């Protein structure tokens, strides 16, 4: 694992955007695995700036997102498709047909999970997978469990994740209770992984994930076994490393 500590959130985002930009320059038709949440917003802002400055070209890039809520249509401003359009896709020249987010409205969610896994596999899995981490150590929506889920699957969200996500909804009742997520096995097949961690409230889970035992009780700890992981943190999140 490579660990890159920046002074603050802005510095962490610059590091993240620089690493993703390097991936695009190295392989213009790369497959990016993308994440939503608060952490990557600043990274996407920096990427959009680089694109506007003529430094980046997304025209040949393909993307697969980690996850999507079950039951939210793409036009719902809390859906992850909506998030990606607003924060990145509509700001750069990536082709809409090259971007993929699980379909949370699929009638048969199990079939959708199989379709999404096959799609990701057909791409040969991401060249670079961007991840955030939940307060309980989840990556994607892979919550603490007895074992590591292998492939894309449907999850029931834990109470702590529902609570954490409720800040984006008008009321707790509106927070979806289920999601489709890439499995830990899907994530681990990415060639390179970029894990972004920011903020004082993530310092304990950052330590557990990076320095603690590898256990499905802390899903992100599995990344210690991946051959090419870069963790970017700000000083607040790195305080216990």
Q: Which residues are catalytically annotated? A: 67, 136, 138, 143
Q: What is the C-alpha to C-alpha distance for residues 129 and 34, in angstroms, rounded to an integer?
A: 6
In the complex with ligand F6R, the residue whose CB is nearer, 138 or 191, is: 138
Least distance to ligand F6R, CB of residue 12, Å: 12
Q: What is the smallest separation between the CB atom of 110 and ligand F6R, expressed in angstroms?
A: 20
- Rg over CA atoms, the chain: 17
Binding site for ligand F6R (CB under 6 A): 35-39, 66-67, 132-134, 138-140
**121, 86 contact by CB (below 8 A):** no
Residue 202: CB minimum distance to ligand F6R, A: 7
Integer CA distances (angstroms), 190 to 38, 128, 142, 145, in order: 22, 6, 16, 22
Among residues 53 and 167, whose Cβ is nearest to ligand F6R?
167
Q: Which residue has the tokens 């903020």?
A: 199
Shortest spacing between CB 177 and ligand F6R, in angstroms: 15
**Residue 131 bridge partners (DSSP):** 195
Question: What gap in Å lies between CA 10 and CA 43, rounded to an integer?
Answer: 8
Question: What does the block give as tokens for 42?
Answer: 């600043």
- Residue at shortest CB range from ligand F6R: 132
| Beta strands at 178-181 and 67-69: parallel, antiparallel or unpaired | antiparallel
Q: Which residues, listed in sequence order, are joined to residue 33 by a DSSP beta bridge?
A: 64, 129
Which residue lies nearer to ligand F6R by CB, 28 or 235? 235
Nearer to ligand F6R, 30 or 184 (CB): 184
């Amino acid at each position: 694992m490579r660990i890159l500590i920046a002074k603050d959130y802005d510095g962490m985002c610059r590091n993240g955007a620089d690493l993703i930009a390097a991936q695009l320059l190295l392989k213009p038709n790369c497959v990016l695995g993308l994440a939503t949440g608060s952490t990557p917003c600043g990274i996407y802002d920096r990427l959009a700036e680089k694109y506007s400055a003529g430094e980046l070209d997304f025209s040949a890039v393909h993307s697969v997102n980690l996850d999507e809520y079950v039951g939210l249509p793409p036009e719902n401003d809390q859906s992850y498709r909506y998030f990606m359009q607003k924060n990145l896709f509509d700001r750069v020249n990536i082709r809409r047909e090259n971007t993929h987010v699980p379909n949370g409205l699929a009638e048969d969610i199990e079939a959708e999970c199989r379709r999404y896994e096959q799609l990701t596999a057909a791409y040969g899995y991401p060249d670079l997978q961007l991840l955030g981490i939940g307060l309980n150590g989840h990556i994607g929506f892979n919550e603490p469990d007895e074992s590591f889920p292998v492939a894309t699957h449907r999850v029931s969200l834990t109470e702590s994740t529902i609570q954490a996500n409720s800040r984006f909804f008008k009321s707790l009742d509106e927070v979806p209770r289920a999601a489709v997520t890439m499995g830990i096995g899907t994530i681990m097949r990415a060639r390179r992984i970029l894990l972004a961690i920011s903020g004082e409230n993530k310092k304990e889970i950052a330590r557990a994930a990076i320095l603690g035992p590898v256990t499905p009780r802390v899903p992100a700890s599995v990344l210690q076994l991946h051959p090419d992981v870069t963790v970017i943190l700000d000083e607040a999140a790195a305080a216990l490393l």
